[in-house]
A and B are shown apart, each in its own frame.
Chain A
Amino acid sequence: MKPTEYFAASRLLIVAGKGGVGKTVVTAALARAAAMAGRSSLIVEVEGKSGLPLMFGHPELGYDELVLHKGGGTDGHAEVTARTITPDAALIEYLEDHGLSRISKRLVSSGALDIVATAAPGIRDILVLGKVKQLQRSAAADVIILDAPAAGHAITFLRSARGLMDAVKVGPINTQAKDVLELLEDHDACQVLLVTLPEETPVNELVETAFSLEDQVGVGLGPVVVNGLYEDYPGLGEPAAKAAEDADVSLLAGEAEALDEAAEFRRHRIALQADQVDRLSEQLPLPQLTMPFLFQSEIGPDELDRLARAMLVGIEALDVDLTLGEGS
């Protein structure tokens, strides 16, 4: 499938996964890949402080809206922007819009904000999603990529629309919940991408989350992103001493052992990872996008470009019928 089609106009991609699997890296790589394909993207973060701007070489940590990558250059790349919508800010803004602007400070200091959020659970989430829908409707970018809250929160977060429609039967919140649910259930306009590492526990949790999301939210699931795969090198099966001899190279004392040990470690992990990827395919009939482990502890612009290119290769290989519209 052509990346330009995948990052189609006004599409919303929701990236979800448990903490530590690289949700934010995947969000950034998707946006960068969209830019490379000439599609502008808007990243929406909901948890405040994150390392996302750093991945684009941008030092700023807190921000409202930020251009992470300028488009329109000779390379044909499109723009990447990012903004944060925190749940509390969304709730305050909403209440202010509904005749409570004079007392918005008191909302926080009196604890009334907590009371509202407890009286109508999910109200913060629905307001964040409502804002996202607004952005999508106003065509803020070709594609909107939402870095969803971590772990089990993702299910609660996406289920908020349905829950609130039951709890609050009339009024503006009910209307907003309906509106959001309509977006989530529109499989052409909205997809959830679940992220995992090729390890036992994250894979189990991803499979569980996938089924919960389909059953409880009715949301369309896009390809699963498997992050952190060790790339294989063809020569790793060769003992170092023999490989050195073949290449007519002499090794220092202890060097053969170090090379062998490192090769064995990598091959062992590659085999474990392959088992987990197979298990994931068996348990979850969704296409997969894979991202390599970069042997870095930090993702900067160069690393992000590599990941984005891997993402594009994966998207090219996707079967159109599997990922678009009613076929999913």
Chain B
Amino acid sequence: MSGPTGDETLETLVREREIIVCCGSGGVGKTTTAAVIALQAAEAGRKAVVVTIDPAKRLADALGLDGLTNEPSRIDGDFPGELSAMMLDTKSTFDDLVGAHASDDEQRRRILDNSFYRNISGALSGTQEYMAMEKLYELHDGRNSGKHDFDLIVIDTPPTRNALDFLEAPSRLTRFLDHRLYKIMTAPNRGVLKAVNMAAQTFVRSIAKVVGADVIDDAIAFFQAFDGMEQGFKDRATKVEELLRADDTAFVLVASPRRDTMDEATFFAEKLAEGGIPVRSLVINRMHPNFADGLAEATRERANSLDGQAIGDLYRNLADFQLVSSREEEHLAVLAETVAPAPVVRVPFLRSDVHDLDGLREIETYLR
């Protein structure tokens, strides 16, 4: 894969790539950015779908996501292309995956009914990340089967501190599913493996003592039922990972201008780079507006010299914005260097909160 050349603007990515992954920490506006990118693609005439994880209610309403269907639904709007949206349902995506790999309906039922299995989507870390990637693969692959025909899939990722968490999620989950817990429990205590098995059985029994034998029995029953499906899951995970690293996939890092979230984003970008994935564009949401050039300190001094009068308050207010804006730019410079030559897109702190298509359109004007 080639690195970013620096001449690809976010708008180019939106027009040319097949997959855009929006990543970053929680509370920075990833979902909104993902929705805006999909809208922009639709306005450029493409068939776009945005897969969101956990949209705020009003944005979900605006995108027509009131029902949980786990399948894309079209959004009506005045654009030459098409815009669809869907909300990821981790559990039913996993159920579908089990259904696709089970050898027969009986095996599928045994897995879906198992209480250990039912815990997985809620309790096993990395599952949501993997299912997001799985959905991405399914939508992309749908072009081959004729099920879907999206030109661009924009995916919002769950908030993770470590970028590698979701890059590694597929292999981590397959390793987990491949666990032969039941073999340890049922293995004969003979031959050269005897010592190993004895230790392992002691181990499982100790765990059972702590959490109770029932839950361990459920776990063993799950791994028994799952037997034979590991390879299918592994192959799929390999394909999903290949897709994430494909040339047509672009990672967009989203951050907010606070020092702590910028630090997190820098860490995130470094981890992505370690995983061999470059950030193609950086979007900073909610930058404070700056209303005048010059130094905040000078304006503040002027305000202090006019203390107690309206003009002093007006200068003080101007200095506030000059200060916060210059600090934000300072922190941004560090992050921008980390992701260079990826372009930086600044979205200002808007006058009003965003929760409908018009709001998304307002943000879109800054994404060019």
Closest residue on chain B to residue A257 by CB atoms: B291
Residue of B199, B207, B219, B314 near A118 (CB, 8 A) is B219
Closest residue on chain A to residue B123 by CB atoms: A121
User: For the complex, would chain B's binding face be called helix, strand, loop or mixed by DSSP majority?
Assistant: helix
- A18 neighbours in B (Cβ, 8 Å): 26-27
Residue of B56, B179, B312, B314 near A201 (CB, 8 A) is B56
Name, among B119, B316, B317, B321, the residue most crowded by chain A CB atoms within 10 Å (CB to CB): B317
Q: Indicate if A150 sits at the interface (CB-CB under 8 A).
A: yes
- B263 neighbours in A (Cβ, 8 Å): 51
**Which one of B8-16, B97-105, B146-154, B322-330 contacts A?**
B322-330
Measured CA separation A201–B288 after assembly (Å): 19
- Closest Cβ of chain B to A97, distance in Å, is 10
Assess the B261–A20 pair: CB atoms within 8 A.
yes
Assess the B353–A199 pair: CB atoms within 8 A.
yes
Assess the B176–A115 pair: CB atoms within 8 A.
yes
Q: How large is the interface on A (under 10, 10 to 19, 20 to 34, 35 or more residues)?
A: 35 or more
- A235 neighbours in B (Cβ, 8 Å): 309-314
Assess the B210–A172 pair: CB atoms within 8 A.
yes
Assess the B58–A200 pair: CB atoms within 8 A.
yes
Residue of A116, A199, A263 near B317 (CB, 8 A) is A263
Measured CA separation A106–B206 after assembly (Å): 13
- B288 neighbours in A (Cβ, 8 Å): 295
Q: Indicate if A57 sits at the interface (CB-CB under 8 A).
A: no
Closest residue on chain B to residue A259 by CB atoms: B314
Q: Indicate if B203 sits at the interface (CB-CB under 8 A).
A: yes
- Closest Cβ of chain B to A278, distance in Å, is 15
- B316 neighbours in A (Cβ, 8 Å): 233
Assess the A168–B215 pair: CB atoms within 8 A.
yes
- B317 neighbours in A (Cβ, 8 Å): 233, 236, 259, 262-263, 266
A255-297 contacts to B, CB under 8 A, are: 255, 258-263, 265-266, 268-269, 272, 295-297
Q: Indicate if A95 sits at the interface (CB-CB under 8 A).
A: yes
Q: Indicate if B116 sits at the interface (CB-CB under 8 A).
A: yes
Query: Chain A, 114-148, contact with B by CB distance < 8 Å: what is the 0/1 string?
Result: 11111111110000000000000000000000000
Q: Indicate if A167 sits at the interface (CB-CB under 8 A).
A: yes
- A116 neighbours in B (Cβ, 8 Å): 207, 210-211
Q: How large is the interface on B (under 10, 10 to 19, 20 to 34, 35 or more residues)?
A: 35 or more
Measured CA separation A114–B259 after assembly (Å): 33
Query: Chain B, 218-234, contact with A by CB distance < 8 Å: what is the 0/1 string?
Result: 11000000000000000
A243-B311 contact in complex given A150-B159, A233-B316, A249-B306, C-beta closer than 8 Å = yes
Assess the B215–A167 pair: CB atoms within 8 A.
yes
Q: Indicate if B161 sits at the interface (CB-CB under 8 A).
A: yes
- A110 neighbours in B (Cβ, 8 Å): 179
Q: Indicate if A246 sits at the interface (CB-CB under 8 A).
A: yes
Closest residue on chain A to residue B311 by CB atoms: A243
- A94 neighbours in B (Cβ, 8 Å): 210
Q: Indicate if B185 sits at the interface (CB-CB under 8 A).
A: no
Assess the B209–A99 pair: CB atoms within 8 A.
yes
- Closest Cβ of chain B to A239, distance in Å, is 9
Closest residue on chain B to residue A203 by CB atoms: B353
Q: Indicate if B315 sits at the interface (CB-CB under 8 A).
A: yes
Assess the B211–A171 pair: CB atoms within 8 A.
yes
Q: Which residues of B contact A (CB under 8 A)?
A: 25-28, 54, 56-59, 116, 119-120, 122-125, 159, 161, 175-176, 179, 181, 199, 203, 206-207, 209-212, 214-216, 218-219, 256-261, 263, 267, 288-289, 291-292, 306, 309-318, 320-321, 323-324, 327-328, 330-331, 351-353, 355
Q: Which residues of A contact B (CB under 8 A)?
A: 18-21, 24, 47-51, 54, 94-95, 98-100, 103, 106, 110-112, 114-123, 150-152, 156, 167-174, 199-201, 204-205, 233-238, 240, 243-244, 246-247, 249, 254-255, 258-263, 265-266, 268-269, 272, 295-299
Between-chain CB contacts (< 8 Å), 18 pairs: A47-B161, A100-B206, A100-B207, A110-B179, A112-B207, A115-B219, A117-B124, A118-B120, A119-B215, A234-B313, A235-B312, A236-B314, A238-B311, A247-B311, A247-B312, A249-B311, A260-B314, A265-B289
